[in-house]
Structure 1
Amino acid sequence: MKHLAFISLCMLSSVLFSQNIAVLKYQGGGDWYGNPTALPNLIKFCNNNIKTKINLKPETVEAGSPDIFQYPFIHMTGHGNVFFNEDDATNLRNYLVSGGFLHIDDNYGMKPYITEELKKVFPNTELVEIPANHKIFNTAYSFPDGLPKIHEHDGKRPQAMGIFFETRLVLLFTFESDLGDGWEDQVVHNDTEDVREKALKMGANIIKYAFEN
């Protein structure tokens, strides 16, 4: 317990002073580095609109690294395979239960892999759908219908799935929405300004929730 209390204190210090966030580098061959302009654009939007002071260049952290505890928010994306070894899974669990937050944005094709790997992180906990009245959909901007649809893939509705520790949402998995594509530079996907704004506002909600809860 002392170990987790120390970690929580480190994470609180990170939120109050540095506000660095990071991209999660994982094993398995999936493109963890996808959507390179997404997080920088989201950071700029948050700093300009919800009064965050996040460093403009997101860092990269490996799933099994102790450096993970420096970041109150970690973003994960990709299209393909994901693999967590035992050390990765333990490290991620310790990070999440001690105050960290992981947002996993399926860039298309990630779901079957990440859902299996999350069983290593939380063996006795299933992903559950987050209701539209949850705080994460209303913390900075209002999304009364829940997660917005940004890109069409398989004609399925967008879903926000989560894992809770005690009463706190510690992990958010966004599926059939592709928020990260909406955060990217406009020339990458030629999204309209309205679509990009929806994606960025939902991203700002996620950041704000992660920093404040």
Structure 2
Amino acid sequence: MPAAAFTFVRLKYHSGDWDAVDERMPANLLHSLVQYTKVPVDPKEKVVALDSPELFNYPFCYLSGHRLVQFSSTEKQNFTQYVRNGGFVFVDDCNHDIDGLFARSFEEQMRQCFGSSALKKIPKTHPIYSQFFTFKDGPPNTGFELNGWGDDLVHDYLKAIEIKGRIGVLYSNKDYGCEWDYDFRNKRFLAEDNTKFGVNILLYALT
């Protein structure tokens, strides 16, 4: 683990609505890291522009939204270089929709950055599902899927772009960001803490 405190970085990109989603989610996941692990954390989320060289100072980034994703040339160059250099980006479609605007436009950006076949479904046996907590059935469902939000499908998979055998881009249509977008003090009312898979994601990115 890194000696420095872990920083939850949200990526700011010029298109879309990167700043209109999941405001409480980062604090919730950071609380879970403190609760379950010994990873030192910076308690405040940090926003970093995708076209900024500051991006390369952090091992983990989060990107989300509902609308068009269309990177500028500098954003595309930075995203590609960051991932190829070992960075980890968790991308979550807040529409929960495999045919929605965010999904279609983001997947097109990935084709342009990494090739047409780079983004692939990952198996339920992937190490990310047993990184800390174990999820034998693959990615846990969200309430938005089960209640018929978005495309009215339960997605039993996540997609990823792997670089040298490790995930560099983890891509979800399950809307985890909204699932975890609540005050961490309300977790005590849940039968099961639904942020545990988020802990797996963060630890995978850091190890």
TM-score, normalising length: structure 2: 0.86
CA distance in 1, matches of 2:168, 2:191: 29
1:208 and 2:203 correspond: yes
Secondary structure of residue in 2 paired with 1:171: strand
The sequence identity of aligned pairs, in percent, is 27
Are the aligned partners of 2:18 and 2:63 in contact in 1 as well (CA < 8 Å)? no
Displaced runs of 4 or more, over 3 A: none
* Shift of residue 95, structure 1, vs aligned partner: 0.9
Letter in 2 for 1:205: N
Deviation at 1:126, TM superposition (A): 2.5
Alpha-carbon distance, 1:96 to partner: 1.0
Say whether the 8 Å CA contact 2:8–2:26 is kept in structure 1: no
Please tell me whether residue 36 in structure 1 is matched to residue 23 in structure 2. yes
In structure 2, what is the Cα distance between the partners aligned to 1:32 and 1:111? 17
Matched residues, number: 194
Aligned match of 2:52 in 58, 65, 74?
A: 65
Partner Cα distance (1:16, 1:98) in 2 = 20
Offset of residue 143 of structure 1 = 0.7
Matches within 5 A, 1:1-213: 15-108=2-95, 109=100, 110-123=102-115, 125-150=117-142, 151-152=144-145, 153=149, 154-158=151-155, 159-175=157-173, 177-185=174-182, 193-194=190-191, 197-198=193-194, 200-212=195-207
Does the aligned pair in 2 maintain the 1:24–1:60 contact within 8 Å? yes
- Aligned partners of 2:196, 2:38: CA distance in 1, in Å? 13
CA-based RMSD of the aligned residues comes to 2.2
Q: Which runs of 5+ in 1 are unaligned?
A: 1-11
Deviation at 1:121, TM superposition (A): 2.0
Once the two structures are TM-superposed, the CA of residue 37 in structure 1 deviates from its matched residue by: 0.4
Q: Distance in 2 between matches of 1:90 and 1:31?
A: 19
Judge conservation of contact 1:137–1:205 (CA < 8 Å) in 2: yes
Tell me, yes or no, if the aligned pair for 2:24 and 2:182 is still in contact at 8 Å.
yes
User: Which segment drifts farther, 26-35 or 142-151?
Assistant: 26-35
TM-score (norm 1): 0.84
Alpha-carbon shift at residue 80 of structure 1 (Å):
1.0
Gaps of 5+ in 2: none
Q: How far apart are residue 186 of structure 1 and its match?
A: 5.6
- Structure 1 residues 97-106 or 45-54, which shifts more? 45-54
Query: Taking structure 1 as reference, are residues 194 and 118 closer, same or farther at Cα in structure 2, changes over 3 Å only?
Result: farther
